[in-house]
A and B are shown apart, each in its own frame.
Chain A
Amino acid sequence: GENVEQHPSTLSVQEGDSAVIKCTYSDSASNYFPWYKQELGKGPQLIIDIRSNVGEKKDQRIAVTLNKTAKHFSLHITETQPEDSAVYFCAASRGFGNEKLTFGTGTRLTIIP
């Protein structure tokens, strides 16, 4: 089955700086790569996703890049703010959607004021 590795497990950045979280996946047939943000005591929330026919996608301060050849994808957050502090999960699935999503182990991002 699919295996998704996520790094780093913890990340601290100064407010205003950029943060990058990286994931690798094992199944070359995977086509859908979402990112979820989980705040303390809440369920994960989808923040951005990308499909294999696209190399990069941006939404305001958040961007995701995908390298299918190398089987890795990354989340980039620019101009970080205190409300960006949370745990971030990457995920992958063979279909083009949610069916049997495999999640990474999470990155705890802390923004230092």
Chain B
Amino acid sequence: NAGVTQTPKFQVLKTGQSMTLQCAQDMNHEYMSWYRQDPGMGLRLIHYSVGAGITDQGEVPNGYNVSRSTTEDFPLRLLSAAPSQTSVYFCASSRDRVNYGYTFGSGTRLTVV
């Protein structure tokens, strides 16, 4: 199993550009989430999904969209990048939301200039 795969690992965007951060897992996990990690602020939940076709907002959803058309994939879209979205983004999955901990990807470091 590859686990949770995030692409790209690094990205530089100009303000106003849009892009999609990819996340794929091959463990047949139902529950997937996106977090952003900023210095001194820990990890903050952006969006999450309890299964294909179902998504919901987390703590900091503004400026981001998600969709979950398959169990495996959970892409995060930045609609119009802003410098405040400079961060490290982590995708995580778990077999369900109650009985199992998260498996995290290795992250995408995004810089918006």
- CB-defined contacts of B107 to chain A, threshold 8 Å: 42-43
Residue in contact with B44 in the complex, picked from A45, A103, A106, CB distance below 8 Å: A103
- Give chain B's interface residue range (CB within 8 Å of chain A): 20 to 34
B42 within 8 A of A: yes
A101 touches B45 (CB 8 A): yes
- CB-defined contacts of B58 to chain A, threshold 8 Å: 100
Interface residues of B in 84-102 (CB under 8 A from A): 90, 92, 94, 96-102
B41 touches A105 (CB 8 A): yes
Known: A98-B94, A104-B42. A43 touches B104 (CB 8 A): yes
Of B43, B90, B107, most buried by chain A (CB within 10 Å of CB) is: B43
| Interface majority SS (helix, strand, loop, mixed), chain A | loop
- CB-defined contacts of B40 to chain A, threshold 8 Å: 105
Residue in contact with B43 in the complex, picked from A41, A44, A96, CB distance below 8 Å: A44
B41 touches A1 (CB 8 A): no
User: What is the bound-complex CA distance between A108 and B37, given in angstroms?
Assistant: 15
User: What is the bound-complex CA distance between A100 and B59, given in angstroms?
Assistant: 8
- A86 CB to nearest chain B CB (Å): 13
B106 within 8 A of A: yes
Of A36, A101, A103, most buried by chain B (CB within 10 Å of CB) is: A101
- CB-defined contacts of B97 to chain A, threshold 8 Å: 95, 97-99
- B111 CB to nearest chain A CB (Å): 16
User: What is the bound-complex CA distance between A100 and B96, given in angstroms?
Assistant: 13
